[in-house]
Amino acid sequence: MTKAKSAFTSKWVDAVQATDKRQEIPDPSLRGFYLIVQPLPGAAKSWAVRYKGKPKFTIGSVAVWSLADARKEAGRVMRTLDEGRDPHAEKKEATSDENLTENVLDEFLKRHVKAKNNGRTAYDVENTIRREIKPKMKGKLITAIRRRDVINLLDEMVDRGVPTMAVRTYALLKKFFNWCIERGILEVSPMGGLKPPATVEPRDRVLSDDELRWAWLAADEIGWPFGPLFKMLAVTAQRKEEVAGASRAEFDLKAKQPAWIIPPVRAKNGREHLVPMTPLAISLVEALPVINESKLLFTTNGETTVGGFSKAKERLDAAMLKIARREAEERGDDPEKVEITPWVLHDFRRTAASGMAAQGVQPHVIEAVLNHKSGMIKGVAAVYNRYDYDQEKRRALIRWERHIRSIIAAAPGSNIVPFQKLGPTSE
């Protein structure tokens, strides 16, 4: 039987040869810590603890547990035994379905997020967990999540061009793992010492008229469901989650003044928000198919809202660049020199706000369109002001729609801008 003359090293452990007999090799540097080598032909290696006549405790496979981590776990098991607790019972409890990461996340949502936050915040957190975290951690025990798992998740988000979302997910995971420690689910957080995955600078990206036209034409190319969804973002100036999660019951398109009412539970600031529906927005909604009699506006299965925004945005970007280069070639320019500065879907909203301002819409009206808490009305007046500027918002969005129509109707590079009567625009 192989014997170790000094403390285990990873190189030494790798070099240990299996025989026709099972081997239990003690680590001279940590009494009770063993390397177990199964006989040939299997020859599997694992870590175990034998301590003060207690039943053997198997830590796990050498392929899964590094030497350093196995030593730490051996020390924890020995402390558990010294305190009179049963590490086997605790291991069984830790490996139950209750400790699968997706189930712990559900408990976190129920007992922390939804109990302490308003509807919109809870909705956003649940959305992030469902779309970003669960797919990467589902099926893993919460105790098996390592720092590398978290880093891989965040790096993937940064690499696909959503650094702000990566930073928010980082903050959410810190809260989640700290909550796990408070509840006794974990002893330590895999986030310890981990820095944010990116530095987020305030964005000021606004699409040019050409870029907005390319985006509109590209939306036609990628088609349903994301093509119409992206157009709704451009026309209404509302948030991505609010548009994507819209229900048909929120719209009254037959009214004298058609409107979309975003309920408080779906509005970011928790306040009901009326969005006047302009002719172009109405036509987009009316053209959407009804899937399995679902009330959801943007769904492919009738049960859940659409997912996969990152891939859809990549398709939109590719189609935009193709259109831009085709136009350059038609002008006689070098299409290979055409590039489009990276942008995100939220820039539709900023572009709309900038466009309305350029057309003379007052800042407080733009804030009302965006459902921002106004910075123009302060103090006691802000508490008692219940006027939501519905008519001003309608005129602002009609002006913005007129601008969009002029952009998409004009020939590339043309100075001729056709106008269409869409309704009153006077303040």
Output 189-197 pairs: Cβ under 8 A, ≥24 positions apart. Answer: 190/145, 190/146, 190/147, 190/149, 190/150, 191/147, 191/150, 192/147, 194/147, 194/150, 194/151, 194/170, 196/167, 196/170, 196/171, 197/151, 197/154, 197/155, 197/157, 197/158, 197/163, 197/166, 197/167, 197/170
Residue whose token pair is 């189930």? 103
The per-residue pLDDT for 254 is: 94
Same domain as 105, residue 75 = no
Q: Which residues of 345-376 are buried (b: 16+ CB within 10 A; e: fewer)?
A: bebbbbbbbebbeeeebeeebbbbbbbeeeee
Q: Which CATH number characterizes residue 139's domain?
A: 1.10.150.130
The per-residue pLDDT for 289 is: 95
Same domain as 373, residue 295 = yes
Q: Which CATH number characterizes residue 360's domain?
A: 1.10.443.10
Task: Using alpha carbons, list the distances in angstroms from residue 393 to 291, 372, 398, 407.
Answer: 31, 13, 9, 21
Dist CA 286 CA 292 (whole Å): 16
The DSSP 8-state label assigned to residue 55 in this structure reads P
Q: What is the dihedral of CA 230, 232, 234, 235, to 10 degrees?
A: 160
Residue 56 near residue 77 (C-beta atoms within 8 A): no
Same domain as 328, residue 238 = yes
SS3 (DSSP) at 254: coil
Query: Is the previous residue joined to 279 through a cis bond, with omega within 30 degrees of 0?
Result: no
Q: Which of 248, 271, 251, 270 is nearest to 261 (CA)?
A: 251
pLDDT tens digits, residue range 158-190?
Answer: 888 788 889 999 999 999 999 999 998 998 899
What are 49's strand-pairing partners?
33, 57
199 within some domain = no
200 within some domain = no
Residue 235 near residue 284 (C-beta atoms within 8 A): yes
Same domain as 229, residue 82 = no
Q: Which of 347, 391, 345, 351 is nearest to 368 (CA)?
A: 391
Same domain as 310, residue 251 = yes
196 within some domain = no
326 within some domain = yes
Positive/negative CA dihedral, 26, 30, 33, 38: negative
Domain residues for 118?
A: 98-182
Q: Which CATH number characterizes residue 35's domain?
A: 3.30.160.390
Q: How many structural domains is the chain composed of?
A: 3
The DSSP 8-state label assigned to residue 35 in this structure reads E
Residue whose token pair is 């942008």? 343
Q: Which of 33, 45, 101 is nearest to 72 (CA)?
A: 33
DSSP state letters, 266-325 = TSTTSS-EEEEPPHHHHHHHHTSPPPTT-SBSS-SSSSS----HHHHHHHHHHHHHHHHH
The per-residue pLDDT for 306 is: 92
| Predicted TM-score (pTM) of this structure | 0.60
Strand order across the 23-26 sheet: 23-26, 33-37, 45-49, 57-61
Q: Residue 60: in which H helix or E strand, if any?
A: strand 57-61
Task: Using alpha carbons, list the distances in angstroms from residue 228 to 8, 275, 281, 346.
Answer: 62, 17, 10, 16
pLDDT tens digits, residue range 241-256?
Answer: 999 999 999 999 999 9
185: alpha, beta or left? (left if phi > 0; alpha if psi -120 to 50): alpha
Same domain as 242, residue 383 = yes
Same domain as 249, residue 172 = no
The per-residue pLDDT for 383 is: 41
Q: Which residues of the chain have pLDDT under 70?
A: 92-96, 373-387, 410-427
Same domain as 271, residue 394 = yes
Q: What is the dihedral of CA 165, 186, 60, 74, to 10 degrees?
A: 130
The per-residue pLDDT for 160 is: 82
The per-residue pLDDT for 187 is: 86
Same domain as 48, residue 170 = no
Dist CA 192 CA 175 (whole Å): 12
The DSSP 8-state label assigned to residue 41 in this structure reads T
5 within some domain = no
Q: Residue 350: in which H helix or E strand, if any?
A: helix 347-358
Same domain as 400, residue 294 = yes
SS3 (DSSP) at 64: coil
The per-residue pLDDT for 127 is: 87
Same domain as 304, residue 372 = yes
The per-residue pLDDT for 427 is: 42
Dist CA 22 CA 18 (whole Å): 8
